[in-house]
Every structure is written in structure tokens, then in C-alpha cells.
């Protein structure tokens, strides 16, 4: 199971709930992600497709997601795990393979994005759901967004807006797709508003 923490800060506002984390707990802790994916078509896994003849780039590491209530003194929830991401092709026609793993080594979900954008997410019980976007599938399954489709561009220093660079010219702060990105060599801190909450994602790259 994924680790989830819920804390009420001193002077907190009672009744403040984090819908996103509640959906995550239902979807991933109890293995019933169909409850939050009911709007997507459910289909058996498609037969393997021929691999693209293009170089493969791979990244792996740890992630944590912290969801803060927008109201001062509200609730805070945290989810953590590991990820592996592989990318092939060019930014305009990129294929992606994603694996999300719990801290205890259990595969929670695997995702696949085709070069034309069509995407599939396979859940831990073997069911596969499909949608035109991998990011959209992940948000519906987890309850909060993860910028997986933009991440390969960010790792290659391609951002919508560069805010700051270090003395060597490396990007240390940027903005893209609604995310505020603070970057160190192997640690990334991402922030963005999400409904009535503030979302913080930390990525630590192992490779």
C-alpha cells in the first residue's frame, strides 16, 4: 500500500477535506480504481504493439505528493512511492511508458502513451482503461495531476518560461503548464494550485 498521512494543524479548520487524497485512498489502497475511472472506457489489455525504432531514454526515482488545504491551518495529506519512465521519439510524436510502485515494491499502475497521444493505464488488478491523454488518466485515477507528458521536455531543459539560471547557465527555476518548477541536479520541487488545495510534488531522480 501507498503511505498516506493526514494531519490537522493546530488551530485547523474542522471539516476541511481533501477530495483528491480520499479518491487516491479508495482507488489505490483498496484496489478499486474503477470507482474514480468510471467515466473511462474499460477494455482488456491490447496486444503488444511493435516498438518504435527510436532511442529510448529512461529515468527512475522517488516521488512524494503533498496536498495542502488552501485555508491556513487546514489539513495536509502526503502520498509517496517510486516511478520509472521511458520515452521514445520526438516531442511532437513521443511514446511514453510509466510505472508507479508503492514504497513496498507493489506495482500500483502502469501507463502507456502512443505517439499520437492515445493512452492506456493498467491497474494492479489487470484491468486497462483508455483515454486520449496519459495525464488525464492519471489525474482521474489519483485525484491530482502529475505532469508526466511534459516531464521528458523538462529533463531536457525545455520549459515554457525560464525564471532563473545558475552561474553555469543551468535552469534552476521555470514555469510550465501551470506548474512552478524549482530544480536541483537530482531533486525537483513542483507546485501548483489544484481546486481548493495547493499541490506540491517532489521528484528525486536515481538515474
Rounded CA-CA distance 194/67 in Å is 9
Per-residue pLDDT tens digits for 107-128? 999 999 999 999 999 988 888 9
Q: Is the per-residue pLDDT at 43 higher than 80?
A: no
Tell me the range of 3-12, 18-27, 136-145, 153-162 where mean pLDDT is highest: 153-162
Q: What is the mean pLDDT of residues 33-38?
A: 39
Per-residue H/E/C for 4-68: EEEEECCCCCCCCCCHHHHHHHHHHHCCCHHHCCCCCEEECCCCCCCCCCCCEEEEEEEEEEEEE
Q: Is the per-residue pLDDT at 26 higher than 60?
A: no
What single-letter DSSP state applies at residue 155? Answer: H
Q: Is the per-residue pLDDT at 71 higher than 60?
A: no
Find the CATH number of the domain harbouring 145. Answer: 2.50.20
pLDDT at res. 187:
95
pTM, whole model, 2 decimals?
Answer: 0.70
**C-alpha distance across the termini of the chain, in Å:** 24
Question: What mean pLDDT, rounded, does the chain reach?
Answer: 78
Rounded CA-CA distance 181/145 in Å is 14
Total domain count, the chain: 1
Q: Is the per-residue pLDDT at 193 higher than 60?
A: yes
pLDDT at res. 92:
80
pLDDT at res. 154:
93
pLDDT at res. 72:
60
Q: Is the per-residue pLDDT at 33 higher than 80?
A: no
Ramachandran area for residue 20 (φ above 0: left; ψ -120 to 50: alpha; else beta): alpha
Domain extent, residue 123, equals 3-205
Burial of 16 (0-12, 13-18, 19+ CB in 10 A): middle
Percent of the chain whose predicted confidence (pLDDT) is above 70 = 71
| 92 contacts: CB under 8 Å, gap ≥ 6 | none
Per-residue pLDDT tens digits for 138-183? 888 888 888 999 999 998 899 999 999 999 999 999 999 999 999 9
pLDDT band at residue 74 under the 50/70/90 scheme: low
What single-letter DSSP state applies at residue 136? Answer: H
Percent of the chain whose predicted confidence (pLDDT) is above 90 = 48
Contact assessment for residue 45 and residue 187, using Cβ atoms and an 8 Å cutoff: no
Amino acid at each position: 500500500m501507498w503511505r498516506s498521512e493526514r494531519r490537522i494543524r493546530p488551530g485547523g479548520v474542522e471539516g476541511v477535506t481533501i477530495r483528491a487524497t480520499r479518491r487516491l485512498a479508495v482507488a489505490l489502497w483498496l484496489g478499486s480504481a474503477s470507482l474514480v475511472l468510471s467515466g473511462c472506457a474499460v477494455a482488456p489489455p491490447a496486444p503488444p504493439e511493435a516498438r518504435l525504432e527510436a532511442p529510448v531514454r529512461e529515468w527512475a526515482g522517488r516521488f512524494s505528493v503533498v496536498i495542502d488545504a488552501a485555508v491556513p491551518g487546514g489539513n495536509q495529506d502526503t502520498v509517496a512511492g517510486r516511478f520509472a519512465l521511458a520515452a521514445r521519439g520526438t516531442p511532437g510524436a513521443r511514446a511514453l511508458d510509466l510505472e508507479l510502485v508503492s514504497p513496498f515494491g507493489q506495482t500500483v499502475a502502469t501507463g502507456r502513451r502512443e505517439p499520437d497521444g492515445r493512452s492506456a493505464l493498467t491497474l494492479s488488478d489487470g484491468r486497462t482503461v483508455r483515454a486520449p491523454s496519459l495525464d488525464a488518466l492519471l489525474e482521474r485515477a489519483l485525484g491530482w495531476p502529475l505532469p508526466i507528458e511534459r516531464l521528458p521536455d523538462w529533463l531536457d531543459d525545455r520549459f515554457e518560461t525560464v525564471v532563473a539560471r545558475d552561474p553555469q547557465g543551468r535552469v534552476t527555476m521555470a514555469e510550465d503548464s501551470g506548474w512552478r518548477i524549482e530544480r536541483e541536479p537530482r531533486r525537483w520541487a513542483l507546485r501548483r494550485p489544484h481546486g481548493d488545495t495547493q499541490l506540491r510534488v517532489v521528484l528525486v531522480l536515481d538515474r
